[in-house]
Amino acid sequence: MLIARVIGDVVATQKHASHEGRKALLVQPLNLDGSDRGDAVVALDSADAGIGDRVLLVTEGFSAMTSVGRPESPIDMAVIGVIDRIDLLPSSPPHLR
Q: Which fold has domain 2-10+22-84?
A: OB fold (Dihydrolipoamide Acetyltransferase, E2P) (2.40.50)
pTM of the predicted model, to two decimals?
Answer: 0.81
**What is the model's pLDDT at position 75?**
77
Domain ranges of the chain: 2-10+22-84
Which of 53, 60, 68 lies closest to 3 in space, CA to CA? 53
- Arithmetic mean of pLDDT, 13-38: 87
pLDDT at residue 4 tops 90: yes
pLDDT at 28 over 90: yes
Q: What are phi and psi of 90, to 5 degrees?
A: -65, 140
pLDDT given for residue 93 in this prediction: 65
